[in-house]
Structure 1
């Protein structure tokens, strides 16, 4: 049993949270949802101990409430913040597994907020770095270092081009090299899973962008080629609690 008066939310103790959860469970009150978001995921980003204390009830509500599912997913996207609730998060292993299933089912319905739900699913699967940066591939940039010569490389995937380049303060992206997209049949692991999910749900724009993100880039400085996703993951995947 949770003592909500001992759990923190952005305004102090979270004693108001159970009543708000009761309210949305019975009538989906819009104002109550606004208050819950403020208490559990302020501005859609900041999470607190109360966020993870409420997660089991939100996931249970998520079976019939897209709003609850969205809030639960947004909370998971903040799981690596310095929220001081690692113990509560560790107790939610089974709840997070259920959340992952519910989010995957929601994606199959092709919701209008597909990318948001997709990023929530990535977070529920522990792919926090991709959840944080994955965009709609109209204006996406990934910054990393060449594993061979250590030069800073910008990888661009967007409507204006799909290339690796050296970013110059005055001239913009220079010495561009076209990316080498991965063949879908060559994708493995995380890349294969998220690509197959996008294809399953008819999100061709996402699937096409993912072949670039999980493809290879050429370093404009030393001409070596490298796996974009592998280098980005190595540089950006933190451990919980960091």
Structure 2
């Protein structure tokens, strides 16, 4: 049994959270959900100990409430924050497994806001990096350094093309090189799972973008090639000391 007066939310004690959970369980009104979001995932991003204390009830509600499922998923996307609730998160292993099943079922229904639910599922699988940075491939830019010559390279995947370039403050993207998308058969691990899920759910735009993200880019400076996803991940994942 959780002593909610000893659990923190953005305003201090989370004593109000059980009542809010009771309220949304019996009333789908927007105001009640707004208050619960403010208490558990402020501005859709910031999580606190109360977030993970409430996760079991949210996942239980998620079987019939898309709003509860969205809130639970957003909480998981904040799992790497300095929230001071690692002990509560560890107690939710079985709950998170159930959340993954529910989110996967929701994706199969091809909901409005598919990408948001897709990111939530990535977080529930512990893929916090891709959950945070994956875009809609309409106008996405990934900034990294060439692993060979260390020149800063901009990779574009979107409506303006799929290319690597040197970004100039005045001239924009220069010395463009076309990206080489990965063949689906060559994808493995997280990239293959993401691609297969997008294909399963008829999200062709996402599947196509992923082949470029996990494909290869050419450095405009030294002409070496590298796997975009691998270099971007290496450049942006926290170091073990952090």
Q: TM-score range by the shorter chain?
A: over 0.9
- Per-residue deviation, residues 27-76 of structure 1 (Å, max 9, x unmatched): 22321111000000011111111101101110111011000000000011
Secondary structure of the equivalent of 1:110?
coil
Secondary structure of the equivalent of 1:126?
coil
Which ranges in structure 2 are unaligned for 5 or more consecutive residues?
none
Deviation, structure 1 residue 239:
6.9
Distance 1:125 1:151 in 2: 33
Distance 1:158 1:241 in 2: 35
User: 1:239–1:113: structure 2 CA closer, same or farther, 3 Å change rule?
Assistant: farther
Secondary structure of the equivalent of 1:154?
strand
Residues 146, 219 of structure 1: 8 Å contact kept: yes
Residues 128, 237 of structure 1: 8 Å contact kept: no
Deviation, structure 1 residue 241:
9.6
Secondary structure of the equivalent of 2:54?
helix
Give TM-score, length-normalised by structure 2: 0.97
Deviation, structure 1 residue 207:
0.4
Distance 1:87 1:151 in 2: 42
User: 1:33–1:241: structure 2 CA closer, same or farther, 3 Å change rule?
Assistant: farther
User: 1:151–1:239: structure 2 CA closer, same or farther, 3 Å change rule?
Assistant: closer
Deviation, structure 1 residue 109:
0.1
- Per-residue deviation, residues 122-180 of structure 1 (Å, max 9, x unmatched): 11111111111111100101111111111111110010010011111111111111000
User: 1:241–1:14: structure 2 CA closer, same or farther, 3 Å change rule?
Assistant: farther
Matched with 2:160 is 160
Distance 1:235 1:70 in 2: 29
| Aligned-CA RMSD value | 1.3
Residues 80, 241 of structure 1: 8 Å contact kept: no
Secondary structure of the equivalent of 1:217?
strand
Distance 2:215 2:19 in 1: 49
Aligned length: 242
Give TM-score, length-normalised by structure 1: 0.97
Distance 1:38 1:235 in 2: 32
Secondary structure of the equivalent of 2:112?
coil
Distance 1:240 1:115 in 2: 29
Q: Which moved more, 1:27-36 or 1:194-203?
A: 27-36
Deviation, structure 1 residue 234:
1.6
User: 1:21–1:241: structure 2 CA closer, same or farther, 3 Å change rule?
Assistant: farther
Deviation, structure 1 residue 238:
3.0
- Per-residue deviation, residues 201-237 of structure 1 (Å, max 9, x unmatched): 0000000000000000001111000011111112222
Structure 1 runs (4+) greater than 6 angstroms displaced:
none
Distance 1:36 1:26 in 2: 14
